[in-house]
Amino acid sequence: MNHSNIVGGSTAKRVINCPASVALCAKMPPKPSSEHADRGTLLHNVIAELLEFDKPPAQCIGATYKDQVLTQELIDEKIIPALEALDEVDPDKTMEYMVETRVGFGDYLPGVFGSTDLLGRKGKRAIVLDWKFGDGVSVDAVENPQLLFYAAAAMRTPAAQWIFEGVEEIECIIVQPPAVRRWVTTPERVKQFEAELAAAVRESSWPEPTMKTGEHCRWCAAKPICPQMTGEVERALRVQLANLPAEQIAMQLEQADRLEDYIKDLRALAFQMLENERPVPGYKLVAKQARRQWVDETKAKDFLLKSLVEPYKELEVISPAQAEKLLKKIKVELPSDLVVSVSSGSTLATEDDARPAVLQIGKQLLQALNKLI
């Protein structure tokens, strides 16, 4: 268990809004894991190992967690964009950090603890970062209770206190590949959150703690036994279900697979049209997340050898990010002309997407050359 059964980062919002949920959730049987949750745990384990031991992602292919296996596809879709997002947070590689750290409140809130993905420090700024590898709900960083919980707990954890000593601001970051969402707050705001959390935890042990429904109920395991969600609500739900057109729903379920295939093919067709310079109103092609590569591996290797840095790891030339980390230790800067950022391709996006549309320069040149032949 990486968080307490009283309150953790993911349940802080619920407990603050509904202290009664603590006792209700304690009555529920353990929630079984899911394929998506297990995949998320696998990706968290892998990225922690990469950061802690400075390993290339390819070395982790085949890593497992329960029935989930790390593939090259998962590396390309999740791990690489997450590492590139971290480069955006720490472009000059000056951040000192610790990964997968258990943090808690000690005697202030006995039995309340959690596990942080990454805690870091850059100058007078502390950083609390959480990886989100799910594709469903978009998670914002602003006033995020989970990140505030981790910051407050870390400030009371001896092993992590060095990150917060003398800082002027605390940055809370959600990395949900390919998005990076950031919010800067103050130690005073974290302390205010801690007081709110402590009041709710203490109230949860009262004979009749506050019970309140709201957005925080979404992931609550106690919904089936919550008095606020049974009674009149349950009767109203039964009436609604009885009035639903069951035969129509059954027919539409049979059509669901065909509809999903249609949508997939429709997106592929729009992509093909835009790639061939046929406009699709309201849509455009944008570049996928760019990844840094060597312009010339031989020149890169020669530069590293001249700088007395071992250029190979597992018989392969190390990546630009690995090279920068090693060069930083000897205070040598990596020449910018040795590295280039290369996108892995294009993807379909709406016109209001902030990313610029890609130019089909290659196709235009090919067409021009064909006319000359």
Q: What pLDDT is attached to residue 204?
A: 96
83 vs 276, residue with greater confidence: 83
Cross-strand partners of 104: 113
| Nearest to 347, CA basis, from 292, 268, 282 | 268
Do 23 and 136 fall into the same domain?
yes
Residue 255 has pLDDT above 80, yes or no: no
SS (H, E, C) the chain: CCCCCCCCHHHHHHHHHCCCHHHHHHCCCCCCCCHHHHHHHHHHHHHHHHHHHCCCHHHHCCCEECCEECCHHHHHHHHHHHHHHHHHHCCCCCCEEEEEEEEECCCCCCCCEEEEEEEEEECCEEEEEEECCCCCCCCCCCCCHHHHHHHHHHHCCHHHHHHCCCCCEEEEEEEECCEEEEEEECHHHHHHHHHHHHHHHHHCCCCCCCCCCCHHHCCCCCHHHCHHHCCHHHHHHHHHHHCCCHHHHHHHHHHHHHHHHHHHHHHHHHHHHHHCCCCCCCEEEEECCEEEEECCHHHHHHHHHHCCCCCEECCEECCHHHHHHHHHHCCCCCCHHHEEEEECCEEEEECCCCCCECCCHHHHHHHHHHHHC
Higher pLDDT, 110 or 277: 110
Residues 139 and 85 in one domain: yes
User: How confident is the model at residue 355, as a pLDDT?
Assistant: 80
Question: Could you tell me if 123 and 261 lie in one domain?
Answer: no
Whether the per-residue pLDDT at 114 is higher than 60: the answer is: yes
The average confidence (pLDDT) of the chain is 87
- 59 with 104, same domain? yes
Mode of pairing for the β-strands spanning 283-287 and 346-350: antiparallel
Residue type, 332: V
The confidence score (pLDDT) of residue 1 equals 42
> Is 240 a domain residue?
no
Q: What whole-number distance in Å separates Cα of residue 160 and Cα of residue 103?
A: 8
Residue 344 confidence (pLDDT): 67
What sign results for the dihedral spanned by CA atoms 157, 160, 165, 167?
Answer: negative
pLDDT band for 158, please (50, 70, 90 cuts). Answer: very high
**Which of 74-88, 225-239, 325-339 is modeled with the greatest confidence?**
74-88
Same domain, 179 and 47: yes
Residue 173 inside a domain? The answer is yes
| Stretch among 66-70, 78-82, 149-153, 216-220 having the lowest mean pLDDT | 216-220
* Portion of the chain with pLDDT greater than 70, in percent: 89
Average pLDDT over residues 160-185: 95
- 201 and 296 in one domain? no
Tokens standing for residue 246: 């069951």
- For residues 259 and 63, the model is more confident at 63
In a domain, 2, yes or no: no
Judged against a pLDDT cut of 60, whether residue 256 lies above it is answered with yes
Decide if 313 is inside a domain.
yes
pLDDT reading at 199 higher than 70? yes
One domain, residues 299 and 342: yes
Do residues 282 and 332 share a domain?
yes
Do 159 and 22 have their domain in common? yes
Task: Identify the domain containing residue 67 by its residue range.
Answer: 9-223
Q: With 90 as the cut, is the pLDDT of residue 91 above it?
A: yes
CB 180 within 8 A of CB 82: no
- What single letter denotes the amino acid at residue 185? T
Over range 84-90, report the average pLDDT: 93
Same domain as 352, residue 212: no
Looking at 203, 223, 243, the residue that finishes a domain is: 223
314 within a domain of the structure (yes/no): yes
Task: Give the domain CATH number at 81.
Answer: 3.90.320
User: Is 1 contained in some domain?
Assistant: no
Count the domains in the chain: 2
* pLDDT of 141 higher than 60: yes
Percentage of the chain surpassing pLDDT 90?
Answer: 51
Q: Are residues 187 and 261 in the same domain?
A: no
| 210 and 287 part of one domain | no
- Using the 3D structure, point to which of 172, 204, 223 is the last residue of a domain: 223
Per the CB < 8 A criterion, the answer to whether 129 and 173 are in contact is yes
- Cα–Cα dist 247/252, whole Å: 9
Q: Is residue 95 part of a domain?
A: yes
Mean pLDDT calculated for residue range 242-253: 75
Find out whether 184 and 169 touch, Cβ atoms under 8 Å.
Answer: yes
Strand partners, 291: 342
Asked if 333 and 261 touch (Cβ cutoff 8 Å), the reply is: no
Residue at which a domain ends, from 207, 223, 239: 223
Mean pLDDT (whole number) for 69-83: 94
Sorted by sequence, the CB contacts under 8 Å of residue 108 that are 6+ apart come out as: 156, 198
Q: Given this model, what pLDDT does residue 342 score?
A: 72
In-domain check, residue 200: yes
Which residues are registered as beta bridge partners of 120?
A: 97, 127
pLDDT band, very low/low/confident/very high, at 356 (cuts 50, 70, 90): confident
Question: Do the strands 169-176 and 125-131 form a parallel or antiparallel pair, or are they unpaired?
Answer: parallel
Span of 5-9, 122-126, 280-284, 322-326 with lowest mean pLDDT: 322-326
Q: Are strands 339-343 and 290-294 parallel, antiparallel or unpaired?
A: antiparallel
pLDDT digits (tens, 9 = 90+) for 32-61: 888 999 999 999 999 999 999 989 999 999
> What's the average model confidence in pLDDT over 183-207?
97
Strand partners of residue 347: 286
